[in-house]
Amino acid sequence: MLGSQIVRSANTDHGDFSHAPLNDPLTGPGRFASGRARKRKFRIRRRSANARWFYLRYDLLGLSLTTSADKAGSCKSRTDYEADFDALSSKGGLGGVKRVRTYAVVDNAFPENPCPVAAAILPAAQSKGFQVILGLSADTQEAYNSEKAALDTVLTEKSGYASTVYALTVGSESLYREVDACELLPRIADARTKFGNLVKRVGTVDSWNKFADGTADPIITGNCGGQASVPGVTFLLVNAFGYWQGQDINNATATYLDDLQQAIGHIQDLAGLNTVEIMNGETGWPGDGGSDHYSAVASTKNEERFFKTGVCTMLALGVDVFYFEAFDESWKPTSKADTGELRDETHWGAFYDNRTPKFSLACPTSD
């Protein structure tokens, strides 16, 4: 998760879309669906202009899952993931949500006890009818090689997990951590060659500003050194947070939508008529017990408000959203913000760590 840099939008002072008319999911919020985003053949699933505001698009919403079960670094087992999926499928949870995303094949958050994520989550997801966007760490060639070797033992034709893996993402905010796009691109291409017969989508995920400012251009075009060396990547996850922009909750949704529009508009301009599948890879807000960040105040009330204005607006527009994250995670260490101050990251869940929801996760309806 992007957690240490504020990148100001070109225009962040345009109010809160929670006050915009929501009966028309194409024109109500205004900004995302206007201009370039409407003209390109970029893959956004839209509803009819006459459609009413909906209750919840289960098929478009997913959640991020991480891997440790406690502060001692115990790894989640298949049974733990099955319990997660049961909670997400319950009446008190999200009902029809059937998609999650992860960050590594083997998670080394606790190096003394690496967690075999893919080996535990894929059989659990298969048994519970979920699909997984499976992440591969790829900030270095060594890390990528290790992840690829680990996945090669789990994701095989005989395993039967191919239908459970919705996509592979190679790298998670690697460009944000200053990995060069022309270093990352060959790793994505290699994963596509290695696993493309089993997984339809292979791509990457990064912060919105790395797509908007051109840093990710070689990933999109496949062009490094002035010539196209490999096909451009056609599955991209764009992360955007009003919170990490330090925005007051009254302007958080507007900033979030504006950041995504900048990123997606640039991708569309670059991709032209090529079909590119784009999702919002992460967004969210910390609940009670979390840290404030500039004007962004952590509270469960604000988390609920951002979900119902920001996330629900994206879903109404027909855009896939992965909410960060499914459950509070008390094991996580603090992160360092651009100010040098420490930020708590243990209270970002839509659910408490006991797997009960913090608030109603239904989107509002309009009469």
Rounded mean pLDDT of 316-330? 94
> Quick check: is 173 catalytic?
yes
Residue 1: which pLDDT band, with cuts at 50, 70 and 90?
low
The mean-pLDDT minimum among 52-61, 103-112, 309-318, 352-361 falls in 52-61
CA atoms within 13 A on the CB side of 253: 23
Residue 49: which pLDDT band, with cuts at 50, 70 and 90?
very low
Checking if the pLDDT of 201 tops 90, the result is yes
Note the residue count of the chain: 367
3-class DSSP state of 174: coil
Q: Which of 82, 282, 303, 345 is catalytic?
A: 282
Q: Which of 82, 173, 325, 329 is catalytic?
A: 173
Question: What separation, in Å, do the N-terminal and C-terminal C-alpha atoms of the chain show?
Answer: 36
> Quick check: is 345 catalytic?
no
Residues 125-144: tens digit of each pLDDT: 999 999 999 999 999 999 99
Checking if the pLDDT of 363 tops 70, the result is yes
Angstrom distances, CA of residue 292 to CA of 66, 115, 277, 344, 347: 22, 30, 33, 9, 12
Of 264, 248, 241, nearest to 318 by C-alpha is 264
Helix ranges (H only) for 272-352 are: 300-306, 312-316
Q: Which two tokens stand for residue 251?
A: 């302007």
CA distance 287 to 99: 23
3-class DSSP state of 346: coil
Which of residues 62 and 38 earns the better pLDDT score?
62
CA distance 115 to 217: 33
The mean-pLDDT minimum among 30-34, 61-65, 111-115, 326-330 falls in 30-34
Checking if the pLDDT of 318 tops 60, the result is yes
Torsion of CA 359, 360, 365, 367, to 10 degrees: -90
CA distance 135 to 105: 6
pLDDT at 335: 78
Of 241, 244, 233, 243, nearest to 205 by C-alpha is 233
